[in-house]
Amino acid sequence: MRVLIVEARFYPHISDALLDGAAHALEEADVPFERLEVPGALEIPAAIRLAAGRFDGFVALGCVIRGETFHFEIVASESARGLMDLAVHDGLCIGNGILTVEDEAQAMQRALRSGFDKGGDAARACLALMRTKARFETL
């Protein structure tokens, strides 16, 4: 099994914390992974689609912080919709670790392994979906 972590690097310090949790979870499960950096959350679904068929699972990592314009809603909704489309329509195993928060403090609390460890949660969700897919492929 191989996993691709696709990380939006718009907020590098938050991405680093998410990556720490995701990498730790995958290493604990002894699952090899590669990393791919993209500029922002909207690019994550496209990057995953481009890599489909080359990996068994995907972990999407990024952060969208609410600002003063409607842009937050678009990025948060469309990145989530893109990931769900890939999972439901293409049968890809994707753990969604894209944070959608009000401010940087919320993001860090959710990103850090010593906090909510959402990067680790996304990796564990990806692994769970990979196990489920393997189960149904053997029937």
Active-site residue identified among 13, 24, 71, 89: 71
Alpha carbons within 13 angstroms on the beta-carbon side of residue 81 total 7
φ and ψ at residue 64, rounded to 5 degrees: -120, 120
Cα 128 from chain centroid (whole Å):
14
- Token readout for 31 is 């699952």
Q: Are 4 and 49 in contact (CB under 8 A)?
A: no
Residue 24 is a catalytic residue: no
Backbone angles phi, psi at 7, to 5 degrees: -120, 130
Tokens of 13: 């310090």
| DSSP β-bridge partners for residue 3 | 33, 57
Any idea which residues carry the catalytic annotation?
71
